[in-house]
Amino acid sequence: MKNTVSAFMSAKQSKKKISMVTAYDYSMAKLVSESGIDSILVGDSLGNVILGYDDTISVTMEDMIHHSKAVSRGAGNCLVIADMPFMSYQTSVYDAMVNAGRLMKEGRAGAVKLEGGKSVCPQIKAITDAGIPVMAHLGLTPQSVNAFGGYKVQGKTEESAKRLIDDAFAVQDAGAFGVVLECVPSELAEFITELIEIPTIGIGAGSGCDGQVLVNQDMLGMFNDYVPKFVKQFANVGEIIKNSFKVYDTEVKNGTYPEEKHGYGIDKSIMKNLRETYARKD
């Protein structure tokens, strides 16, 4: 059955954990959907793992639409959530609505995600009022890396923990159907999960959240530029890929690939005629 926003709410009510992973293309989305994972996030982390930027700041609406379209075609029953990139919603409620609409109409996403608490609640309310489900994102919000002065755990002091709790209530009241908690102390994330009614999806926020999300290149061991503490590498796909490329390289260079079975035949008489026609006459 197709996963929807209401499935997220029922999962929280029945204490069933929600699984989510990022994907950025059709073939990975198909693999995710065939695995039984509930939801795919087309994260603006594509700036790091696909486009090779140091952060997510340079990711554009065009990037997000392009990848969201591809993911949506392979996502099967997964709920596809597309990230709203930096400055596509902070500038005004109007911009937020236009851009959320584009991610749904052109990107074929089933929901959008945006970063921030109280300050973006007018945007969350307007987008949800327009019939577009919104997931919020609190804690370490990577689009604010320059304001934070680096990728740091959030909510460690009483004051900042209270701010996080207030923000969680605020995004819920504005209409968000869920909230990502990134790099938040585990006990605080569990406390927020108990306090609010909408599901919390943790990344670096412990096991007390209603669900978990990871960047697929991180969990598959395909991206080693920086591996955060919270990442578990469930496989070393990077090594498998590298070794396969090495074998291919060797076989191409020593002539063992391709073999006869990898080629296509042609009638022998045609080749004989061609050889006679093009025989050198010197």
Q: Counting contacts by CB under 6 A, is residue 43 touching ligand KIV?
A: yes
Active site residue 182: yes
x-marked contacts with ligand KIV along 6-25 as a string, rule CB under 6 A: ----------------x---
Of 3, 33, 39, 45, the residue at the interface with ligand KIV (CB under 6 A) is 45
Q: Counting contacts by CB under 6 A, is residue 134 touching ligand KIV?
A: no
Q: Which helix (H) or strand (E) holds 268?
A: helix 268-277
x-marked contacts with ligand KIV along 176-215 as a string, rule CB under 6 A: ----x-x--------------------x---------x-x
State in angstroms the smallest separation of the CB of 177 from ligand KIV. Answer: 15
- Cα separation, 60 vs 52, in Å, equals 14
State in angstroms the smallest separation of the CB of 201 from ligand KIV. Answer: 7
Q: Counting contacts by CB under 6 A, is residue 128 touching ligand KIV?
A: no
CB 38 within 8 A of CB 80: no
Provide the token pair at 73: 């075609």
Length of the chain: 282
Other C-beta atoms closer than 10 Å to the C-beta of 9 total 16
State in angstroms the smallest separation of the CB of 137 from ligand KIV. Answer: 6
Q: Which stretch binds ligand KIV (CB under 6 A): 24-32, 43-51, 72-80, 169-177?
A: 43-51
Q: Counting contacts by CB under 6 A, is residue 218 touching ligand KIV?
A: no
Contacts 24+ apart (CB under 8 A), 261-264: none
Which of 115, 182, 187, 194 is catalytic? The answer is 182
Beta-sheet pairing, 200-203 with 178-182? parallel
Torsion 172-178-180-186 (CA) sign: positive
Residue whose CB is less far from ligand KIV, 72 or 272? 72
Spell out the residues 6+ positions from residue 246 whose beta carbon is closer than 8 angstroms to its own: none
Q: Which stretch binds ligand KIV (CB under 6 A): 41-49, 157-165, 170-178, 190-198?
A: 41-49
- Cα separation, 125 vs 134, in Å, equals 9
Spell out the residues 6+ positions from residue 221 whose beta carbon is closer than 8 angstroms to its own: 233, 234, 235, 236, 237, 238, 239
Provide the token pair at 206: 């412990």
* Residue of minimal Cβ distance to ligand KIV: 43
Q: Residues with catalytic annotation? A: 182
Query: By the criterion CB under 6 A, which residues form the site for ligand KIV?
Result: 22, 41, 43-45, 83, 137, 180, 182, 203, 213, 215
